[in-house]
Copies of this chain bind each other. A is one copy, B any other.
Amino acid sequence: MTTKQTPLLDLKFHREVSISPAQIWEGWTNPATLMKWFCPRPWKVIECDIDLRPGGIFRTVMQSPEGKNMPENLGTFLALEPLKRLVWTNALGTDFRPRPKPIDESLGFFFVVDLRLTPLLNGGTSYAVNVMHQDAAGRQVHEEMGFQEGWGIALDQLVELMTPIDGQH
């Protein structure tokens, strides 16, 4: 076969969390919910468009702590299995239109995010992400941007958002 795994192009993030697949799915697919956790504070997501179908838009705009809006992050969904799997990419836009090559590789690079959710016996979720890059340079830039830390902090924020507050006075 011609296609094989190329882990050198991938960044993986895996954690078991206490919230359910349904809560995580809600966090990823409802724009109003996504905006509350998707990027590590004090950064904010200030705009979010989600059209939850293969070929539908997935768009976010982030804002720096100083109030500066970043260029939009634009992509599309490739595969959707409710509560189980969500795949999206920034290499294609709405209706699968190829997106232009990033002008500056240090800022822009193409990737595909494959998120898999598996229910745990304790009611929680195994949250496993594989981010596949077009080339080693893109993977490296993404890693050096703080991929592991960023995904971890964001997921913490989602868990916190979805966890009822009790015992806190």
Chain A interface (Cβ within 8 Å of chain B)? 2-3, 6, 9, 54-55, 57, 59, 72, 74, 78-79, 87, 89, 91-101, 110-112, 114, 132-135
Contact = CB atoms under 8 A, between A and B. Distances in A.
Contact of A96 (B57, B95, B101, B132): B132
A78 B133 CA distance: 18
A2 B74 contact: yes
B2 A59 contact: yes
Contact of A112 (B59, B92, B100, B110): B92
Given A96-B114, A96-B132, A97-B112, 20 more contacts: A2-B57, A3-B57, A3-B74, A3-B94, A3-B97, A6-B97, A9-B97, A9-B98, A54-B54, A54-B78, A78-B78, A78-B96, A79-B96, A89-B96, A91-B92, A96-B112, A97-B132, A98-B132, A100-B134, A100-B135
A97 B94 CA distance: 18
Contacts of A79: 54-55, 96
A132 B55 CA distance: 13
A13 to B, nearest CB: 17
Contacts of A93: 3
A133 B74 contact: no
Nearest to A113: B96
A133 B98 CA distance: 6
Contacts of A96: 78-79, 87, 89, 112, 114, 132
Contacts of A3: 57, 74, 93-94, 97
Contacts of A100: 134-135
